[in-house]
Amino acid sequence: MTNSSQRLHCEDSSGARVLVPVLYSFFSLSGTLANLAVIGLVCSSKRLKTTSNAFIVNGCVADLSLCAFWMPREAVALARAAPKSSAHQALAEGLALLWTTVSLLSHALVALNRYVLITKAPPVYQTIYQRRNAECMIAVSWAVPLLFLLPRLLGQRREDGAPTCAGAPGKGVQAPGAYTAILWAATVLVLLYCYFKIFRKVQSSVKRVSVLGFQAVAQPPCSLPRKEKRLGLHVLCVCCAFVVATAPLVGVIVFALVTPVAEGLRTAAWLLFCSLFVLDPFLYTCTSEEFRRAFRSAVRGECGRSSSVSHQEPWPKPSGRGDAA
């Protein structure tokens, strides 16, 4: 295929050349601000420095990388509708897959952390989530995707060696497609399983759970039914958000291994998945009273004193070196 025919194909296949860059730009701006806000609040508030929030920050770092670096590049490239070189595109796709996988693994780590905290005895939680163990979990969430995607990150050329159209997410990702689909699907299944077990546990006992951030507090018995309903609603919202955002893309990747998938469907599934990187910070902070107090303190310029404002106890921390503060 000649360069002119490649360019014509790119122009014809990018019917949403205006809409997609606009969505990328919106996701980039809103996702960057939201993830930066969460990272800043956790780093500046002592009461937010918990093991679960460390995993949340790890996911926000991956989401921030996607929103601040990859999405603007894709928006500009798609708006120009120009062919992209194989090596450059391979590196960009490798970084996108790396950050995406780390983000999903971080959400799985958050779900596992809350599952162990709520359904297991405190000594079990303290043993598993010592500071060193939590740091190793975060390191593994980066090392495993990096190991599988290292060839693409090093700029390995595509099999066909031809330039591809800008802004065609999912195109030319056949090599890591099976790995990506399996890992992403497994991550979502782990998350759903953990939150389902949490929901079942909360139905029987809410002694160690607060609806605002899954924190252990002492509340009057009359408030427990209401808290239980709100907690169940929050868990349901988290699960629905992940299923709605990930299921279409995983299905597209799986079907693409067997039969060609329409580019419009592939792009729509990817854009829906990208919305998850913007919603992630809100999924974990919108119901947390600690985050709301820290945000109000930051707005008033009192972020350093946010920990003294709250009378609510943080999640149980292991004694000594137990928590990944």
Q: Indicate whether 318 belongs to any domain.
A: no
When comparing pLDDT for 139 and 5, which is higher?
139
Question: What range defines the domain where residue 121 resides?
Answer: 3-308
| 90-147 pLDDT, tens digit each | 788 888 889 999 999 999 999 999 899 888 889 999 999 999 999 999 999 999 888 8
Query: b/e per residue, 10-27, with b = 16+ CB within 10 A?
Result: beebbebbeebbebbbeb
Give me the pLDDT at residue 232, please.
66
Which residue is associated with the tokens 């946010």? 306
Give the whole-angstrom CA distance, residue 37 versus residue 291.
10
Q: Indicate whether 324 belongs to any domain.
A: no
| 26-44 pLDDT, tens digit each | 999 999 999 999 999 999 8
For the whole model, what pTM was predicted?
A: 0.76
Q: Indicate whether 132 belongs to any domain.
A: yes
Mean pLDDT lowest for which of 76-85, 112-121, 131-140, 255-264?
Answer: 76-85
Q: Indicate whether 151 belongs to any domain.
A: yes
Structural tokens at position 322 = 């137990």
Name the residue among 30, 113, 111, 25 with its Cα closest to residue 71.
25
Q: Indicate whether 323 belongs to any domain.
A: no
Q: Indicate whether 91 belongs to any domain.
A: yes
When comparing pLDDT for 190 and 159, which is higher?
190
Instruction: Please state, in angstroms and as integers, the Cα–Cα distance from residue 214 to each residue in 19, 64, 191, 220, 291, following that order.
Output: 39, 25, 16, 17, 12
Give the whole-angstrom CA distance, residue 39 versus residue 58.
9
CATH code assigned at 111: 1.20.1070.10
Q: Indicate whether 233 belongs to any domain.
A: yes
Q: Indicate whether 46 belongs to any domain.
A: yes
Give me the pLDDT at residue 85, please.
62
Please give the tally of structural domains in the chain: 1
Instruction: Please state, in angstroms and as integers, the Cα–Cα distance from residue 107 to each residue in 57, 99, 238, 318, following that order.
Output: 10, 13, 10, 22
Would you say 206 and 229 are in contact if contact means Cβ atoms under 8 Å apart?
no
